[in-house]
Amino acid sequence: MVPLEYYLVVAGIIFTIGMIGVIVARNIIIIFMSIELMLNAANLAMIAFSRNLGSMGGHVMVFMIMTVAAAEAAVGLSIIIALFRNRDSANIDEVNLMKW
């Protein structure tokens, strides 16, 4: 059996990649996809812990996270559509009305 730590390392790397994407990317759709990446890394850690502890709680938690991700994708993408309709661009540098 593959040790738990290996899965956690992979989850950590994927989470970090997602975080870098959120900070660095300028395209709002790429930022959104990076958020999905981070959610998935959390899912992987949950399942790994669940296997290690022999308890099914993690599976149910992942189920909930998937529901949240679906809801978030629906609302977020409609926000992107509304934004694109107003600004005619997917670049977040042009959305600076509330920037300090």
What is the contact surface with another protein in residues (CB under 8 A)?
1-2, 6-7, 10, 13-14, 17-18, 20-21, 24-25, 27, 29-30, 32-34, 36-37, 40, 43-44, 47-48, 50-51, 54, 56-57, 59-60, 62-64, 66-75, 77-82, 84-85, 89-91
Cβ 100 to another protein shortest distance, Å? 24
How far is the CA of 83 from the CAs of 20, 44, 47, 49, 76, in angstroms?
23, 32, 36, 39, 10
**Cα–Cα distance measured from residue 63 to residue 69, given in angstroms and rounded to the nearest whole number:** 10
**Nearer Cβ to another protein, position 2 or 100?**
2
> Considering only CA atoms, which of 1, 2, 3, 9 is closest in space to residue 45?
9
Cβ 10 to another protein shortest distance, Å? 4
**Cα–Cα distance measured from residue 21 to residue 27, given in angstroms and rounded to the nearest whole number:** 10
Cβ 87 to another protein shortest distance, Å? 11
